Copies of this chain bind each other. A is one copy, B any other.
Amino acid sequence: MSESTTRDHIVEAADKLFYEQGYEHTSFTHIADAVRISRGNFYYHFKSKDEILDAVINERLANTRSALEQWEAENSKPADRIRCFIQIMINNRDKIKLYGCPVGTLSTELTKLNHASKAGANELFSLYRTWLCRQFMLLGRKADADQLAMHLLARSQGVATLASAFHDEAFIRQEVRILCDWLAGLKEKNS
């Protein structure tokens, strides 16, 4: 029942490295050095580099799902839940400043590589999209809930991209404030 912990270490290290320096640019040697195992040992746990990527994506999907569930469980008001989403930009501001958004940058890279797992990476976006859509519906915006979800996702992506390009942490805080105001303004339009 208990999985080998080495596999988890590999996925964990690959997750971090794929985020920090990109999937293509990360080699087996990089991951091996991080996990402190032999390069040949990989192929006992994974058949290929692509399989590691799939494992990383699946773990990110699982982590995201549980985070969304938690936000939903810990907050009864949909606006507070959405604020949780916005808040992750503040919580992860250090890494965003350096590496951008892990969801957006992976999606962008795999799309350019036309990689087989690009659909899996975009599934991460869909996870947030449908969750946010549901929250906006609960907020009384049934008609344009998905539009609002996409809008908020796009705003977040843009913040991450520019914060990373200019290494500007204050910009993140500023935009988060604007987004919270935008959210507060939305509530007044409840039906």
Chain A residues with CB under 8 Å of chain B are: 20-22, 24-25, 99-100, 104-105, 107-109, 111-114, 122, 125, 147, 150-151, 153-159, 161-162, 164-166, 168, 171, 174-175, 178
List 20 additional contacts besides A125-B165, A150-B162, A158-B161; criterion CB under 8 Å: A21-B114, A22-B24, A24-B25, A99-B111, A99-B112, A100-B108, A100-B112, A107-B161, A107-B164, A111-B165, A122-B165, A122-B166, A125-B162, A150-B171, A151-B175, A151-B178, A153-B162, A154-B162, A154-B175, A157-B161
A181 to chain B, nearest CB (A): 12
A2 to chain B, nearest CB (A): 35
Could you say which of A107, A111, A175 has the most chain B C-beta atoms within 10 Å of its C-beta?
A111
Complex: how many Å from CA A147 to CA B173?
12
A95 to chain B, nearest CB (A): 12
Q: For A162, what are the chain B residues with a Cβ–Cβ distance below 8 Å?
A: 125, 150, 153-154, 157
